[in-house]
Chains A and B, each alone.
Chain A
Amino acid sequence: MNRRGWGLLIAGTLLVGGALIGAVGADRFAPSDPEAIRLADALLSPSAEHWMGTDQLGRDLFSRMLHGARVSMRVGVGAIGIATAVGLLIGGLAGLLGGRWDGWIMRLTDVMLCFPTIFLILAAVAFLDNSEWNIILIIGLTGWMGVARLTRAEVLSLREREFILAARAAGAGPARILFRHLIPNALGPVIVSAALGVGTAILIESGLSFLGLGIQPPTPSWGNILTEGKETLGAAWWLTLFPGLAIFFVVLGCNLLGEGLRRRWRSS
């Protein structure tokens, strides 16, 4: 792999890794309780005491951002975990079974793909209560189609690759073909798409929370911090700048990581 590929991988790992460390260590790193209201300290600009300033209710923004990272990371990783597992299963089955099964399974996938995902999610959120687990489930169950198509295409094209035929000509059985050749070769693109997907899921959660349909206050999430910040946009820039930047950099990090992994995979 060339220097550029390594650069992407390292930059992506730093950005995503930073957010992960912040999320995991939120309790330890946060200077104060993210939900502790101190009206006397409302809307303080960033300072040595409050690195990212405070919000309308005097809560420390840095603490809220760390706890919000937890929500973003859990939703991003959880939803994509579900989407990837479902997509691998459905796409792998379609590719392996082939013929009519393949036709029916992929027709179902295309039908799902035809619904604009965001409306599906909005409709589902309207009926269910918006707990974090429900949001993970909804984003995951509306996001598997890409992985399914990818896996199917991988399995179908791999099945015809000459190295598979060569292994069969040497006497390899189905288990060896599956575990030594098909799965390792199909996994690369799937992991790449999962890394990209985490970014998308984080963006969807932020969007939902921004619309008031996601994580409910007072629990902080980057999306709902942004919503609250927008009311005081003229007076307190930090309330929109920091969550905006956090979302931007983490999604960017996921994309860099995905692209770096893609190059890494292609070159080995």
Chain B
Amino acid sequence: MTPPLLEAAGLSRRYPVRSHPLGPVTGWIDAVREVDLALSAGETVGLVGESGCGKSTLARILAGLIPPSAGTVRFEGTALFQLDPAGRRRFRRTVQIIFQDPFTTLDPLMTIGQSVAEPLAIHRIGNRRERGERTRQLLGEVGLPPEWSGRFPDTLSGGQRQRVGIARALALNPRLLICDEAVSALDLSVQAQILALLNDLREKRGLALLFISHDLGVVGAIADRIGVMAEGRIVECQPNPALFEAPRHPAARRLVELALEGA
């Protein structure tokens, strides 16, 4: 059996608490506690939980942006910290992440074309002209006019910036896209458009998604399987419609109630 694309085992992450930056450590925050999670190619996994329950911390560990305090993340069966430089590069190209805040997701001093082309430049893919061509193609793929390549982010709406963020994440042809509250800052109608785009990309590219939100309603619209997080743990995991019908954990029940009220 081939190993899952990305697999987390016993992941924990704690942060020291100090009363002021020079003070002694007075305690610890356990942002993520002993999380196990497997993501296979082509699959869409949802992750819900109240704000502050550790979703972003988990997302950043899985994307290799911060190290866990304990536990391991395996990429195609190899622990991240054991990857050789070539493996590390392949991990970077395979797993990409998009974020919540459309206003900080793009460097304000770079044109959107430069932002989208940055991953290509980092991996030295193509020459300048080829990267420009690829950038325009990617902008088209996320539903933006390719000729906007020379624009600066401040001329774009929140939804358009999120599309640029998605184009940048797609530049390296990843197989897994981690979406950390990718639509939470957007208006309802724009949320629906971005969800439709992600759904579309998932089908066309066979992309796996880890779709994170505090809103179960949004997660329910896209995920095959949904994990519920509370206080750093994944307390429940069920296939998509089943969770809505029979939530077991109190945190899951609360989220289902909220989602049904909202609908």
Instruction: Choose from B92, B100, B108, B169 the contact partner of A171 (Cβ within 8 Å).
Output: B92
Contact residues in A for B122 (Cβ distance below 8 Å): 167, 170-172, 176
Q: Tell me, yes or no, whether B64 is within 8 Å of chain A by CB.
A: yes
B118 x A172 contact (CB < 8 A): yes
What are 28 residue pairs bridging A and B, where the CB atoms are less than 8 Å apart in the complex? A102-B21, A106-B21, A162-B100, A163-B104, A163-B106, A163-B107, A163-B115, A165-B60, A165-B97, A166-B98, A166-B99, A166-B105, A167-B118, A167-B122, A169-B64, A170-B118, A170-B119, A170-B122, A170-B171, A171-B89, A172-B122, A176-B122, A184-B109, A185-B107, A185-B108, A268-B108, A268-B109, A268-B154
A156-209 residues with Cβ-Cβ distance < 8 A to B are: 161-163, 165-172, 176, 180-181, 184-185
Q: If the complex has contacts A162-B104, A166-B165, are A107 and B123 also in contact, measured as CB distance less than 8 A?
A: no
A103 x B105 contact (CB < 8 A): no
CB proximity of B39 to chain A, nearest CB, Å? 16
Contact residues in B for A180 (Cβ distance below 8 Å): 107
Q: What is the chain A residue whose CB lies nearest that of B91?
A: A171
Q: Tell me, yes or no, whether B172 is within 8 Å of chain A by CB.
A: yes
Contact residues in A for B99 (Cβ distance below 8 Å): 162, 165-166
Q: What is the chain B residue whose CB lies nearest that of A173?
A: B122
Q: Tell me, yes or no, whether A2 is within 8 Å of chain B by CB.
A: no
Contact residues in A for B105 (Cβ distance below 8 Å): 162-163, 166
Instruction: Choose from A162, A171, A185 the contact partner of B123 (Cβ within 8 Å).
Output: A171
Q: What is the chain A residue whose CB lies nearest that of B100?
A: A162
Q: What is the chain B residue whose CB lies nearest that of A268?
A: B152
- B interface residues with partner A (beta carbon < 8 Å): 20-22, 60, 63-65, 88-89, 92-93, 95-101, 104-109, 115, 118-119, 122-123, 152, 154, 165, 168-169, 171-172
B22 x A166 contact (CB < 8 A): no
B154 x A267 contact (CB < 8 A): yes
Bound CA span A161–B100, Å: 11
CB proximity of B92 to chain A, nearest CB, Å? 4
CB proximity of A182 to chain B, nearest CB, Å? 10
Q: Tell me, yes or no, whether A4 is within 8 Å of chain B by CB.
A: no
Contact residues in B for A103 (Cβ distance below 8 Å): 20-22
Q: Which of A102, A106, A169 has the most CB of B within 10 A?
A: A169
Chain A interface, DSSP helix/strand/loop, else mixed: helix
B92 x A169 contact (CB < 8 A): yes
Q: Tell me, yes or no, whether A99 is within 8 Å of chain B by CB.
A: yes
Q: If the complex has contacts A100-B22, A104-B22, are A169 and B97 also in contact, measured as CB distance less than 8 A?
A: yes
Contact residues in A for B108 (Cβ distance below 8 Å): 185, 268
Bound CA span A155–B225, Å: 39
A78-113 residues with Cβ-Cβ distance < 8 A to B are: 99-100, 102-104, 106-107
CB proximity of A118 to chain B, nearest CB, Å? 30
CB proximity of B179 to chain A, nearest CB, Å? 12
CB proximity of A168 to chain B, nearest CB, Å? 6
Contact residues in A for B21 (Cβ distance below 8 Å): 99-100, 102-103, 106
Contact residues in A for B97 (Cβ distance below 8 Å): 165-166, 169
Contact residues in A for B63 (Cβ distance below 8 Å): 169
Contact residues in A for B96 (Cβ distance below 8 Å): 169-170
Instruction: Choose from B22, B109, B115, B119 the contact partner of A185 (Cβ within 8 Å).
Output: B109
Instruction: Choose from A104, A163, A170 the contact partner of B172 (Cβ within 8 Å).
Output: A170
Contact residues in B for A169 (Cβ distance below 8 Å): 63-65, 92, 95-97
Bound CA span A190–B124, Å: 32
Bound CA span A236–B92, Å: 75
Bound CA span A185–B110, Å: 10
B104 x A161 contact (CB < 8 A): yes
Q: Which of A102, A163, A266, A267 has the most CB of B within 10 A?
A: A163
Other contacts beyond A168-B65, A185-B107, A268-B108: 8, CB < 8 A: A162-B100, A162-B104, A162-B105, A169-B65, A170-B168, A171-B119, A171-B123, A266-B154
Q: What is the chain B residue whose CB lies nearest that of A98?
A: B21
CB proximity of B51 to chain A, nearest CB, Å? 17
CB proximity of B65 to chain A, nearest CB, Å? 6
Contact residues in A for B88 (Cβ distance below 8 Å): 171
Q: What is the chain B residue whose CB lies nearest that of A106?
A: B21
Bound CA span A56–B150, Å: 62
Q: What is the chain B residue whose CB lies nearest that of A176?
A: B122
Bound CA span A167–B63, Å: 12
CB proximity of B167 to chain A, nearest CB, Å? 11
Instruction: Choose from A107, A162, A184 the contact partner of B22 (Cβ within 8 Å).
Output: A107
Q: What is the chain B residue whose CB lies nearest that of A185?
A: B109
